[in-house]
Amino acid sequence: MSGNIQLLSDTLAAARSEGRAALIAYLPAGFPTVDGGIDAVKAVFDGGADVVEVGLPHSDPVLDGPVIQTADDIALKGGVKIADVMRTVREAYEATGKPVLVMTYWNPIDRYGIERFTAELAAAGGAGCILPDLPVQESDEWRQHAEKHGLATVFVVAPSSKDDRLAKITAVGSGFVYAASLMGVTGTRQSVGAQAQDLVRRTRATTELPVCVGLGVSDAAQAAEVASFADGVIVGSAFVKLMLDAPDREPGLVAVRALAADLAEGVRKR
């Protein structure tokens, strides 16, 4: 079975044709439980997310701030496995027909096996992977398997990336480019900053791929700001914090669905 890279591309293109940015949400698998995590992904899709990134919880998440680290710890203590990540992708995709990616660090894939991981993700209906710590120059084997299985390979660029480095990254990526809005870890912030707009401009000079901005967006006003210059707005910590702060599962689902609706309105205001 082939993965859903084309669905991802079509979804981002459809948002652009509507004159807006896409809303991309992030939630870790297995948090607060495997079933609860699946319901949370469905809830943000119901609220208006175009794409969801499902995080594969990791014990040493170098890109993630304290909110997502806390959720990852809960998922890992609950015994979440890669099979649960694949189940989350499958059930979310089957329920919504929308693109679902996995965001993961390299070590779990390396230990699991590249062919096994890509084949299972494609069979689950996944659209691809975001790989924040896989160096482009070491990505050939991954990209061969991903391409064979119809999966996007999304690389992360940062404000510190020089123009020649951007060109090397975007030349081999697919699906979209994940532009980290600032140096640092994930988390909500008061301002996304001018660095993000400059990074999008420089990245677009190297590629036709959509450029989507993450790290720091937490409300509709920030989403509208980023949507004015990016092809997609990525929101993670704000959703996870609502789930962490909720007294139990149902209020958490209501809260993330409402935030998705608010953000979806924001990306349409640009």
Summarised one tens digit per residue, pLDDT across range 132-175 is 999 999 999 999 999 999 999 999 999 999 999 999 999 999 99
The more confident residue out of 196 and 123 is: 123
Q: 33-65 pLDDT, tens per residue? A: 999 999 999 999 999 999 999 999 988 766 667
Report the alpha-carbon angle 155-207-238, nearest 5: 45
Mean pLDDT of the residues in the chain = 92
> Taking residues 124-139, what's their average pLDDT?
96
Residue 268 has pLDDT above 90, yes or no: yes
Residue 94 has pLDDT above 60, yes or no: yes
CA distance 63 to 48: 26
pLDDT at residue 187, as a whole number: 42
For the chain, count helices (H), then strands (E).
12, 9
DSSP state of 21: P
pLDDT at residue 139, as a whole number: 97
pLDDT at residue 71, as a whole number: 92
pLDDT at residue 43, as a whole number: 98
pLDDT at residue 269, as a whole number: 83
CA distance 4 to 260: 23
pLDDT at residue 184, as a whole number: 43
Q: 182-238 pLDDT, tens per residue? A: 644 444 444 556 788 999 999 999 999 999 999 778 899 999 999 999 999 999 999
CA distance 205 to 233: 19
pLDDT at residue 181, as a whole number: 77
Q: Are strands 232-235 and 156-157 parallel, antiparallel or unpaired?
A: unpaired
Residue 126 has pLDDT above 80, yes or no: yes
Residue 30 has pLDDT above 70, yes or no: yes
- List, by residue number, the catalytic residues: 53, 64
